[in-house]
Amino acid sequence: QVQLVESGGGLVQPGGSLRLSCAASGSFDSINNMAWYRQAPGKQRELVAGTSSGDSTNYAVSVKGRFTISRDNAKNTVYLQMNSLKPQDTAVYYCYAEITIGPRTYAYWGQGTQVTVSS
């Protein structure tokens, strides 16, 4: 069974930083795209940042210049470095990965981790 295990969320003051981690475990052949999504109360889940297996990246306009997505393929892990955090960043953050097992590719989601930005 493949799992995406997230860590690094918590409470931080405005202007502070957090780093989220998401590690894939289990049996699989490869990981393709990985991404971070978030969902704030009353809002639809939105893409925050994504990265391909070739290391191309894309970001939501609201986080450009503040957040950085990266991956360590040897560890099957994707990170989200979040700097200059704002109260508007408060949300549950979800890891996403497209994982190939044999001839098929599946979409997996992490369990979500709460990020709260408040003074």
Tens-digit pLDDT profile for residues 8-32: 999 999 999 999 999 999 999 999 9
Note the pLDDT of residue 33.
Answer: 96
- Euclidean distance between CA atoms 90 and 40, whole angstroms: 7
Element (H, E) at 104: strand 104-109
> Taking residues 114-118, what's their average pLDDT?
98
Q: Which residue has the tokens 């609201």?
A: 62
39-86 pLDDT, tens digit per residue, is: 999 999 999 999 998 889 999 999 999 999 999 999 999 999 999 999
The reported pLDDT for the residue numbered 54 is 83
DSSP state string for 17-86: -EEEEEEEESS-SEEEEEEEEEE-TTS--EEEEEE-TT--EEE-GGGTTTEEEEEEGGGTEEEEEE-S--
83-101 pLDDT, tens digit per residue, is 999 999 999 999 999 999 9
Question: CA-CA distance, 98 to 20, in Å (whole number)?
Answer: 18
pLDDT at residue 32, rounded to an integer = 95
Residue 53 has a pLDDT of 84
